[in-house]
């Protein structure tokens, strides 16, 4: 008997509910519709499969489903790039359910070379984030900018990295730090949902999601929406307790040498109030002990920067 994945069921059902007949180019017909979006039979027609076959898929059985069928369903439900990738991740798990990849420990430190790269970008705040939204490294400006996250009581211990999602949903200080907390919350949940599809056997990710679901009704409600997405670039308004409001553009950079690790670099418009405040932040950082270092200057026996340095 094929295993059924409730993530597949809920993901496809929530996506189907968002597509109206008008959006899909279908006639509404007469009578009252019982569902807010498309019916299963309508998705089946748009995908070129039988109603029974699509129903089996939406009930969570992706075993044996071809890439061509996945693409057809993605087109019918008007998936974006991230939603399509998530569906493929779910299908990959269904095809190889017993193959659990070995997971790296949650607070794996960055290499010395990566830390040197981050430090060399001294003119802008730069942080390194892993797949679980742990902040594992930063340069001086990055540590200063995210100081409130580093000192948050949501951090499990001084030796563990701070987690941006835990800060957003469990620390009241997040409302002061993020000018648009709703957007920050939605973004963090989309990223974690995407990662849960890509690495379903990540025990630390499962622990984090379980903790947030238990302790934060808002997280639980957002998680149930099954929205997915990757944060690649954009703008944020952050409020630093030492220098005030900062309007920053950001770019996320993937590192080929460190799969799962992304650098977030924050930039200000030249000669803007934010650029001036970043200079103040640099001066503030120089007088504050924003790093947590061990007796060997923040490196372990292999010469690698410790994650606690953040």
In this predicted model, what pLDDT tens digit does every residue of 38-83 receive, in sequence order? 999 999 999 999 999 999 999 999 988 999 999 999 999 999 999 9
CB count, 10 Å around CB of 276? Answer: 12
pLDDT score, position 302: 38
**Alpha-carbon distance values, 290 to 11, 138, 167, 282 (Å):** 41, 10, 17, 11
- Tokens 């420990």 correspond to what residue? 105
Q: Where in the chain is the domain with CATH 1.10.260?
A: 6-95
Residues of the chain with CATH 3.30.450: 112-180+229-309
Phi, psi of 175 (to 5 degrees): -65, -30
For 6-95, the fitting CATH number among 2.40.50, 1.10.150, 1.25.10, 1.10.260 is 1.10.260
CATH code of the domain made up of 112-180+229-309: 3.30.450
Low-confidence stretches of the chain (pLDDT beneath 70): 1-3, 29-32, 97-108, 288-310
pLDDT of residue 159: 81
Give alpha helix (H) positions in the chain.
6-18, 21-24, 40-47, 51-58, 67-76, 81-95, 112-120, 140-145, 147-150, 164-170, 174-177, 181-198, 203-215, 217-224, 273-287
- What's phi and psi for 95, nearest 5 deg? -75, -30
Read off the pLDDT of residues 191-207 as tens digits, 9 standing for 90 and up.
999 999 999 889 999 99
pLDDT of 227: 97
Residue 29 is predicted with a pLDDT of 64
Report the C-alpha gap between 10 and 84 in whole angstroms. Answer: 15
């Amino acid at each position: 008997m094929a295993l059924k994945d409730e993530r597949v069921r809920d993901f496809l059902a929530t996506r189907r509910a968002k597509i109206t007949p008008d959006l899909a180019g279908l006639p509404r017909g007469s009578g009252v519709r019982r569902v807010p979006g498309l019916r299963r039979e309508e998705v089946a027609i748009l995908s070129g499969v039988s109603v029974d076959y699509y129903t089996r898929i939406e009930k969570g059985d992706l075993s044996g489903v071809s890439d061509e069928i996945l693409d057809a369903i993605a087109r019918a439900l008007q998936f974006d790039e991230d939603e399509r990738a998530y569906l493929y991740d779910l299908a990959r798990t269904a095809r190889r359910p017993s193959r659990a990849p070995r997971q790296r420990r949650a607070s794996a430190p960055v290499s010395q070379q990566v830390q040197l790269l981050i430090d060399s970008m001294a003119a802008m705040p730069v942080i390194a984030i892993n797949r679980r939204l742990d902040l594992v490294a930063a340069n001086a400006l990055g540590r200063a900018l995210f100081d409130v996250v580093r000192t948050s009581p949501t951090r499990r211990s001084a030796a563990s990295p701070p987690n941006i999602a835990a800060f957003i949903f469990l620390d009241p200080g997040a409302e002061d730090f993020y000018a648009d907390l709703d957007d920050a919350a939605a973004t963090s949940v989309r990223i974690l949902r995407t990662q849960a599809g890509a690495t379903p056997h990540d025990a630390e990710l499962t622990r984090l999601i379980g903790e947030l679901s238990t302790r934060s009704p808002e997280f639980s409600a957002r998680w149930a929406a099954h929205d997915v997405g990757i944060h690649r670039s954009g703008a944020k308004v952050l409020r630093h307790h030492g220098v005030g409001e900062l309007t920053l553009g950001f770019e996320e950079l993937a590192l080929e040498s460190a799969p799962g690790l992304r650098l977030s670099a924050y930039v200000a418009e030249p000669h803007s109030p934010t650029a001036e405040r970043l200079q103040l932040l640099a001066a503030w950082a120089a007088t504050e002990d924003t790093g947590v270092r061990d007796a060997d200057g923040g490196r372990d026996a292999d010469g690698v920067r410790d994650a606690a340095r953040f």
